[in-house]
Structure 1
């Protein structure tokens, strides 16, 4: 490329033969003195070495020679100035190529290098050739880097040193040598050509943007160096980074052409910084809905505060995705859990608030709350330091009064809790390798449809996914693997939980969770749990098993379908909603558990697969369907598949409504419960009152509150074998447990009947 040819530029100075009025003894600018009629200058037409030359005597401290015509300086164009000179007589001067830099208005551009290296003349008649390169970019071999502010130059040479010497100077040459740099310019634009210095100090933002504007389909090339970008830079061209970029947190690098994490890693060098900057760009660039990690594994030394990475946004609700990569935690004190102990007051009238909190300023938002009467997965959602108050994600079940609480703030690989609202966000095909050092994801304070799909959450220290408030509304967890760091521990020793949710409409579909204390704690309603496999066993004989999924709402309105519940149980509780509301509430209502596989092995005989655990008296079952499930115990039988945990209260079985417990299969389960329950009763001796005992096969040990049918299976006879054709009436809720019924006849009779008993009405 030769711009003198392709763009018609005149670069070569006129020969001295054209007149010395074209050559200045000053800067070469209009109005400066020329060498025409100067006493110390003359044109020599015939010299034995030069065809025509300027003979010049040095009489000034710096004897200048500048071409009066403006030589244009263009981005990407590099000029070489060549001078051939020899000493004739007198003192030997020192010579250097020099120039004067001017802007578009003809004013001088200061602060630039305007002279090349000096060369001393040491003998008469010896021809010395000097050359220097001038251009806009800081490329290797460029002697005078003039940047983007310069529009033109006046070039020539300086004589320095002792005065009195006489030299002869051949015609000065200025040529376009941009071709020297063609190796990396044919298909790309170098940011140095547009003024970037890459010194780590100078703000190169404008140079980057100028190079991008000039690229016109070519790549932008960022050569080796450290480039400080003090402002937001948007690059619409493909960019190749050999050098590294540094930026303030608030400034953004928006790569719209090739938006992926490997490009940001190339730009910033540090993988962690690159991930933050790429996420910042994802939320500030409408051209891309997803950030592809390019299969890279990012080593993470401390929690990534996702909101702090995007300081210009505290809320976001446009769909965005991060996909295809790994984040791996490495040993660091930054993962240490913050623990604060403080006294506070709780009142049931304000069930989600702690007041008069000591040391409230040091309690982190997002901390887990522990204390007497505090249920599982209660978190600090807000803090008012001036008022000394904390807002909680859920109520406490028995903590009225003043007591000491412990607040634990776990550390997370990805922490979104700084966002007040964060919606429509997905992680896809991403593995979070916590390595037992940290937890995985903490959700924003509010938000809808957080989506995790085809991801691995591996070995979280405390939690896989934590919702501290309602950022889990409509959360979708699909085809993910949750691998515990506590697999070597017994069930009783485990404390980690794969995920929790406080809000409604959560979907857990086709996931696998291994050896956590709990797979999921769901405090909202309208949940869909389908096709998951979660197992939590150990090798202990008569081992204890914890809940795989905990539903912590009485009105649950949830369905559990087609899951493999392996060595754990389903717990339905109200520890975050313990006060019965019989006016607008429904108590333990709207639960559907169908077509699941329940399996256990080496468990204590009292273990059950379905556990209802009431907090507070007066609760009852009001709408529950358990059907089509397979209950199987191996390496020992269990007493029953379902039970009530009455640690705090039992159910009021006199109010049971709409319970279906049918079509299930039982293997090594002693009580094969049903509702309605078919009972066959043989009365061998005559009696006017027959007691029908279901022998513990009514679900949950509930009361016998109804009889759907009575069918005689043989003749009903008197003691004399006389056949009797009559119907008895029924007395319900008989016996100490009220689980029996009595058939009352008009006389003493014997025979066999089949009944259909119900626990509900």
Structure 2
């Protein structure tokens, strides 16, 4: 343990992104790290990488109310920018340039980022010409709560930020991570590593990358009790991608264990725009380690968004219609693909006839059906049941969540 430096990045199987050594006990041969490991069963081999920083505060046990103002960190591909102390409050970086950091712009190895503020800074990558999938540098990370990231610009890093804490505010930033490849690979730009992240992403320009929401910082990533994926609002941002494959998505949820679900997500008033080719959808679930339980979804809103170059637009609630050409007492209406994350048809808010409902002989009937939610093998359809065989058109409002 004497060879493991405080502030070292931990790498290995079962280790999430941006996990650092916060303290060590040489006598006991132990190290304390900044977050849990999502898979730490058995004996494993770990690598500890210690980056070199222009400002290194890891020698402090705690450092609070420290301000770095109007400084250009000329890293020149040789050094990283700032390493915070393991503990502390309200570290503030404002109006600074982080120019070509070798590995990281700003790193927090522990909870020295509690209440941290990053304002009006520029992060300029040392990997400008590299493909997105080949980049290794990151603008910043944080582990503690109540971090504010405001009015910054970040160009061509692997990730803009990796956020493990809660209560984060990310407003007015522009981060772009694309490259010149055709059908290029894109990585997460802003990464949340706790499921109940309590974060607001507002008024940002999110360019050629996506918001990735995981629970990789949990030592027991399978959901058993407590809070699952929730507490996230994505409001008034504009998302752009260029020369990407149709499978690219702007919002990706990645559970690292089974049993998780959505409980509190608002995607409201955003613009989603593609150039040089359409994408299929703006959102997806990465099922590498686990899927979401769509039968437990609660309080999800996809409202007032604008889509350009998106094949399958999504809404919750979704305002849909169904045309029944042949008279039947049971009309089965598919909600695919309009519900977010291809969710279940859990809740029908209303149904109305769009024009006359007629029997097979053409007689007009004034009636309304009742609705069977979660219908079909995939539970993505609604069955409307009438008291007699009818044909016509209905309009209905359906949700993929329980709104209360």
Partner of 1:374: 15
8 A contact 2:336–2:342 mirrored in 1: no
Per the alignment, residue 31 of structure 2 pairs with: 390
Q: Which whole-Å deviations, capped at 9, do the CAs of 1:129-175 have from their partners, x for residues lacking one? A: xxxxxxxxxxxxxxxxxxxxxxxxxxxxxxxxxxxxxxxxxxxxxxx
1:679 aligned partner: 320
Deviates more, 1:691-700 or 1:647-656: 691-700
- 1:619 matches 2:224: no
SS at match of 1:422: coil
Q: C-alpha separation between the residues in 2 aligned to 1:456 and 1:394?
A: 29
1:702 aligns with 2:337: no
Aligned match of 1:737: 378
Distance between the aligned counterparts of 2:315 and 2:181, measured in 1? 31
Partner of 2:329: 688
Cα deviations by residue, 1:494-541 (Å, 9 ceiling, x for unpaired):
010000000000000000000000000000000000000000000111
The structure 2 residue matched to 1:579, chosen from 216, 221, 227, is 221
Q: Offset at 1:489?
A: 0.2
Check if 1:532 corresponds to 2:180.
Answer: no
Q: 1:581: how far off? A: 5.4
* Residues in 1 aligned to 2:40 and 2:375: alpha-carbon distance in whole angstroms: 38
1:717 partnered with 2:358 = yes
Aligned partner of residue 401 in structure 1, secondary structure: coil
Partner of 1:171 in structure 2? none
Partners of 1:738 and 1:368 lie apart in 2 by: 44
Name the residue aligned to 1:146.
none
Gaps of 5+ in 2: none
Aligned partner of 1:494 among 121, 129, 135? 135
Q: TM-score, normalised by structure 1?
A: 0.52
Number of the residue aligned with 2:204: 563
1: CA distance, partners of 2:35 / 2:157: 22
Q: Partner residue of 1:631?
A: 272
Asked whether the 8 Å contact 2:8–2:20 carries over to 1, the reply is yes
* Separation in structure 2 between the aligned mates of residue 581 and residue 650 of structure 1, nearest angstrom: 11
1:520 aligned partner? 161
1:541 aligns with one of 175, 178, 182: 182
Aligned equivalents of 1:473 and 1:618: distance in 2? 30
Q: Distance in 2 between matches of 1:386 and 1:725?
A: 83
Higher relative CO (Cα under 8 Å, sequence separation at least 6) belongs to 2
Checking the alignment, whether the CA contact within 8 Å between 1:381 and 1:468 is kept in structure 2 is yes
Question: 2:51 matched to 1:410?
Answer: yes
Q: CA shift at 1:736, angstroms? A: 3.2
Partners of 1:368 and 1:407 within 8 A in 2: yes
Partner of residue 647 from structure 1, selected from 278, 288, 300: 288
Larger radius of gyration: 1
Deviation, 1:397, is 0.8
- The aligned counterpart of 2:65 is 424
Measured in 1, the distance between the counterparts of 2:256 and 2:371 equals 34
Q: Distance in 2 between matches of 1:650 and 1:735?
A: 20
Shift of 1:697: 1.2
* Residues in 2 aligned to 1:689 and 1:385: alpha-carbon distance in whole angstroms: 72
For the 8 Å contact 2:352–2:368, the answer to whether it is kept is no
Alignment of 1:90-489 (within 5 A): 360-489=1-130
For residue 726 of structure 1, report the CA deviation from its aligned partner.
Answer: 2.0
d(CA) in 1 for partners of 2:81, 2:378: 48
- Aligned equivalents of 1:650, 1:706: Cα separation in 2: 21
Q: Which of 220, 226, 231 in structure 2 is aligned with 1:590?
A: 231
Contact map agreement 1:580 1:587 (CA 8 A) in 2 = no
1:579-603 CA distances to partner (integer Å, 9 max, x unpaired)? 35554x2201110000000000000
The number of aligned residues is 401
Preserved CA contact (<8 Å) 2:373 2:382? yes
State the Cα distance separating 1:552 from its structure 2 match. Answer: 1.1
TM-score (norm 2): 0.98
d(CA) in 2 for partners of 1:535 and 1:365? Answer: 31
Q: Per-residue deviation at 1:694?
A: 2.0
Contact 1:393 1:502 in 2 (8 A): yes
Tell me how far apart the structure 1 counterparts of residues 185 and 168 of structure 2 sit (CA, whole Å).
27
Q: Give the deviation of 1:720 after TM superposition.
A: 1.1
What 5-or-longer segments of structure 1 have no aligned partner?
1-359
Distance in 1, Cα, partners of 2:299 & 2:370: 23
Query: Which deviations, in whole Å up to 9, do the C-alpha atoms of 1:275-326 show, x marking residues without a partner?
Result: xxxxxxxxxxxxxxxxxxxxxxxxxxxxxxxxxxxxxxxxxxxxxxxxxxxx
- Cα drift, residue 739 of structure 1: 1.3
Q: Quick one: distance in 2 between partners of 1:382 and 1:427?
A: 24
1:553, distance to aligned residue in structure 2 (A): 1.2
Q: Distance in 2 between matches of 1:573 and 1:371?
A: 18
Structure whose residues are more often helix by fraction: 1
